[in-house]
């Protein structure tokens, strides 16, 4: 049943062109999400002439597999005509695109099965590598070019829809964030006549705690006074595939589990992270949480969960410097409780909540839709290994 499986080596060749004349300046790196993205490496004093040039529809992969956990760093350049990457990467290309499409090959590389295969085939002592010979020895089903094109079109339709939904969610959040800034930072919320409060001469009073003028009637509260902080009870290994409820951990990824301990509208804040980057999310419904993940709700009726979202979002960068720990950074209640935020009057609070409610609920619906579409995408990738069976049935 594997007669259509062929070794990748007969379809690919290594490319080793250096940036010797320094004509290419765009520096990219391969992320564990298997995309080429702008590099954040410090290149001061680096000889960029030794860096490799990669061109559109060429691949780059990192042979060292012991650094990325279960993911193999491999990506296809699709967004630029050319760029440079570190000499640590191997650049290769498809020899004949009438036999194998680069996009089809990249679909195979995105499969979890390929990651497991590459890790299994990796070797070494101090560091494990999946070398060029092992890559060339990889077998994959190579259907007709027409079938490859059909599969790629179907995959791109799905991924484009996911990207469109992600873009829409960013726009929705930008809209809500702009409203928050206009009302709670610039104090230009509508007054009784519907005009911007501060610029229309609204009464401002000095607040000693914030060391700034705030609208008359507004107050200041600490996080301890305004928010209710709980934590989950589950261990990280409580995640299961195809679980019924979201499971929030200290990872940026949302997992699944078959239990739920919370059924509410809440903010989820990671309580620890090795690099002091704390994932932060909004959710409404039934869910469960890891024991070091904060489940935050509002206990002050004048501070909506939506105001709380943007207040905490604005603190995330500062948490990098205030969190404690060496190998792992911890975000403790001692850090969170004293933080302060502004408490608006009842009218502004209610209006802001009403404006944001539909935005956040719409974002949640779109995110849930993307989960479903992503599952379809994963199913399509998993079906690639059954192409041989399908091809045989079609020819009978």
For position 301, what pLDDT does the model report?
95
Residue 63: CA count within 13 A, CB half-sphere: 18
Q: Is the pLDDT of residue 277 over 70?
A: yes
Q: Is the pLDDT of residue 33 over 90?
A: no
For position 16, what pLDDT does the model report?
96
Q: CA angle at residue 357 from 266 to 273, to 5 degrees?
A: 35
SS3 category, 25: coil
Q: Is the pLDDT of residue 390 over 60?
A: no
List residues bridging with 343 in a β-sheet.
219
Q: At what angle do helices 305-313 and 145-180 cross, to 10 degrees?
A: 100
CA–CA gap between residue 91 and residue 392 (Å, rounded): 34
Quick: pLDDT tens for 117-141: 998 998 886 788 899 999 999 999 9
Residue 319: Cβ-neighbour burial (10 angstroms; 0-12, 13-18, 19+): buried
Q: Is the pLDDT of residue 351 over 80?
A: yes
Q: Which band of pLDDT confidence, cut at 50, 70 and 90, is reported for residue 215?
A: very high
CATH class of the structural domain 5-142: alpha beta
Distance of CA 189 to the CA centre of its chain: 33
Distance of CA 330 to the CA centre of its chain: 21
Q: Is the pLDDT of residue 62 over 50?
A: yes
Query: DSSP secondary structure string, 328-340?
Result: SEE--HHHHTT-E
CA–CA gap between residue 379 and residue 366 (Å, rounded): 20
* Cβ 57 vs Cβ 12: under 8 Å: no
**258 contacts: CB under 8 Å, gap ≥ 6:** 240, 243, 244, 245
For position 328, what pLDDT does the model report?
80
Question: What is the residue whose two structure tokens read 């939506």?
Answer: 306
Q: Which band of pLDDT confidence, cut at 50, 70 and 90, is reported for residue 70?
A: confident
Query: DSSP secondary structure string, 245-298?
Result: EEEE-SSSS-EEES--SEEEEEEEEESEETTS---EEEEEEEEEEBTTEEEEEE
φ/ψ of 81, rounded to 5, equals: -70, -35
Quick: pLDDT tens for 262-272: 999 999 999 99
* Cβ 245 vs Cβ 258: under 8 Å: yes
The DSSP H or E segment spanning 59 is strand 59-61
* Cβ 256 vs Cβ 241: under 8 Å: yes
Quick: pLDDT tens for 289-318: 999 999 999 999 999 999 999 999 999 999
Eight-class DSSP state of 58: -
Q: Which superfamily is assigned to 165-353 in CATH?
A: DNA methylase specificity domains (3.90.220.20)
* Cβ 290 vs Cβ 250: under 8 Å: yes
Q: Is the pLDDT of residue 389 over 50?
A: no
Quick: pLDDT tens for 248-260: 999 988 999 999 9
CA–CA gap between residue 18 and residue 13 (Å, rounded): 16
CB atoms near residue 25 (< 10 Å): 9
Select from 23, 25, 13, 21 the least CA-distant residue to 132: 13
The CATH 3.90.220.20 domain(s) of the chain lie at 5-142, 165-353
At 297, list the tokens: 């709700």
Q: What is the 3-state composition of the chain as percent helix, strand, coil, each rounded to the nearest 5?
A: 35, 25, 35
List residues bridging with 75 in a β-sheet.
60
For position 395, what pLDDT does the model report?
42
CA–CA gap between residue 364 and residue 370 (Å, rounded): 10
Please, what is the average pLDDT of the chain? 91
pTM score above 0.85: no
């Amino acid at each position: 049943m594997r007669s259509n499986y062929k070794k990748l080596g007969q379809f690919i060749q290594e490319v080793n062109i250096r940036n010797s004349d320094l004509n290419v300046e765009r520096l990219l790196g391969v992320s564990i999400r298997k995309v080429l993205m702008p590099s954040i490496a410090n290149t001061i004093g680096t000889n960029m002439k030794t860096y490799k040039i990669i061109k559109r529809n060429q691949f780059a992969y990192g042979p060292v597999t012991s650094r990325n956990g279960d993911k193999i760093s491999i990506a296809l350049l699709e967004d630029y005509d050319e760029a440079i990457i570190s000499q640590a990467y191997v650049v290769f290309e498809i020899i004949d695109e009438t036999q194998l499409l680069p996009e089809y090959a990249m679909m195979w590389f995105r499969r979890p099965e390929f990651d497991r295969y590459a890790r299994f085939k990796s070797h070494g002592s101090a560091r494990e590598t999946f070398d060029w010979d092992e890559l060339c020895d990889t077998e994959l089903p190579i259907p007709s070019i027409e079938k490859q094109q059909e599969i790629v079109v179907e995959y791109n339709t799905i991924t484009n829809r996911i990207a469109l939904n992600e873009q829409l969610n960013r726009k929705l959040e930008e809209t809500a964030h702009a409203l928050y800034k206009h009302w709670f930072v610039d104090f230009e919320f509508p007054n009784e006549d519907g005009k911007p409060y501060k610029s229309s001469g609204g009464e401002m009073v000095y607040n000693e705690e914030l060391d700034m003028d705030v609208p008359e009637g507004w107050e200041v509260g600490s996080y301890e006074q305004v928010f209710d902080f709980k934590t989950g009870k589950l261990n990280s290994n409580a995640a299961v595939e195809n679980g019924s409820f979201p499971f929030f951990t200290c990872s940026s990824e949302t997992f699944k589990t078959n239990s739920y301990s919370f059924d509410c509208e809440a903010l989820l804040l990671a309580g620890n992270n090795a690099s002091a980057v704390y994932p932060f999310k909004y959710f409404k419904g039934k869910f469960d949480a890891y024991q070091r993940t904060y489940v935050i709700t509002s206990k002050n009726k004048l501070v909506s969960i939506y105001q709380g979202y943007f207040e905490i979002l604005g603190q995330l960068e500062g948490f990098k410097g205030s969190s404690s720990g060496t190998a792992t950074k911890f975000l403790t209640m001692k850090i969170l409780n004293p933080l302060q935020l502004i408490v608006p009057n009842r009218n502004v609070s209610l209006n802001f909540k009403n404006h944001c409610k539909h935005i956040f609920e719409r974002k949640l619906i779109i995110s849930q839709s993307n989960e479903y579409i992503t599952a379809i995408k994963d199913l399509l990738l998993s079906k690639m290994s059954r192409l041989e069976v399908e091809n045989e049935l079609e020819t009978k």
